Structure 1
């Protein structure tokens, strides 16, 4: 009797083990089918999904920011204002003063304060227009950390949120629209800096890396992913556009960046060397070893970054010898 029970138990175990193995196999097949067939086809045929995956406007943090009080976000000496980039569309902007000017901000009359801030842009200190990545707002911690590094170097920083982000008008963004917003803010600053050195700092947005990292070796990758992005106006062809930049360029990239792979930063640099004209202003690439852990957001923590910037800005201002 005991032997029969042991044998029966063994048969049940084999049956259950077989069922478990079948469950694992079926689960794996379904996962592969959904991941590499269903999701790519849904993505290919859904422009709204494409926009939402490139422009993560729904990833909005920190919460409950009062953009009129940037000092509460660690930025005293900062003016909040709005620029109309087209009819019924406004973008929220911060002008962050160099550290040496914070104590001089007028505290009484708001009109005098606004006029004073505008005049400081032409005080011959460098002015940096910061274009942020595809999540959160100008108030997010790692951006505030960068602003504070730059203001300690005695630079002005102008940072804004594209349409659809933070306190800017909610309009679904695409490449044409966010580039338009950036151009309008650029012109606003350009018209007010006088002879002050003026630079643009861009970070991350428009890479479409989520697809490149997971699906890039798939058959029909370009048809499934890249062509729909182009058709939706969100492909951000940096490798094409860089040929038309007639200004000195500095590319900084951390080796442990898991959002935009380091190899793409190098590829962009090498492409620029090939496609820009021989008499184009210089381009420089600076890489940061993975051991420092700067990843995608924290190159501003590199002790040598201020010196890298000073050297680049100095040579850009001096121009070719």
Structure 2
């Protein structure tokens, strides 16, 4: 996907959350990874000269869509908790392969289908995530709090990791929370979970 952005002459800033990739090997929580995004976003805003502010688009993929949604929904609160000046929101949000909330994603995941028949499935596989505030990832709730932020959703009907139906649920939830303001678009492709970058018409959609 980064190569697609570069070919479109976009500047791309990306990083590894705590516990992911080459980042610090610690147990990630939703609060922690959102703080990581806030740290990078703060650096970006402070690095831009006042008279030359470019278009800033926050792009999340898969779990990153929920993290990005959390940030844009709580950016003022997060800045207040850190005793820092309030940051401007991004100009737009792109959600690639999003889900509506973690509970539905867990129960729709291919692994869950293999073990959902077990009598202790709910308590052992679902409850540890959904009963803890450390792993809420309720994108549908977060994005109902930003009714004017332009949002572009991208998904594939062939996605076996995050089912297309969950993206539809999220889209309907966001749409119902808006009136006449706030651009919301949903584009569907025929690629898999990690292959939307191969879609020939993707550049036309994102520009």
Instruction: Tell me if both proteins adopt one fold, taking TM over 0.5 as the criterion.
Output: yes
Q: Unaligned 5+ residue runs, structure 1?
A: 1-145, 311-321
- Does the 8 Å contact 1:190/1:198 carry over to 2? no
Give 1:172 shift. Answer: 1.1
Give 1:239 shift. Answer: 1.0
Q: How many residues get paired? A: 160
Q: Whose RCO is larger (CA < 8 A, sep 6+)?
A: 2
2:55 aligns to what?
197
2:128 aligns to what?
228
- Does the 8 Å contact 2:4/2:197 carry over to 1? yes
C-alpha RMSD over aligned residues? 2.4
* TM-score normalised by structure 2 residue count: 0.69
How do residues 172-183 of structure 1 correspond to structure 2 at under 5 angstroms? 172-183=27-38
From 172, 175, 181, the equivalent of 1:273 is 175
Give 1:232 shift. Answer: 5.3
Give 1:170 shift. Answer: 1.9
Q: 2: CA distance between counterparts of 1:236 and 1:222?
A: 18
1:71 aligns to what?
none
Higher Cα Rg, which structure: 1
Farther off after superposition, 162-171 or 225-234: 225-234
Give 1:227 shift. Answer: 4.0
Q: 2: CA distance between counterparts of 1:217 and 1:280?
A: 41
How do residues 20-31 of structure 1 correspond to structure 2 at under 5 angstroms? none
Identify if the C-alpha distance between structure 1 residues 284 and 167 changes in structure 2 by more than 3 Å, giving closer, same or farther. Answer: same
Q: 2: CA distance between counterparts of 1:248 and 1:263?
A: 22
Identify if the C-alpha distance between structure 1 residues 232 and 279 changes in structure 2 by more than 3 Å, giving closer, same or farther. Answer: same
Q: Unaligned 5+ residue runs, structure 2?
A: 67-98
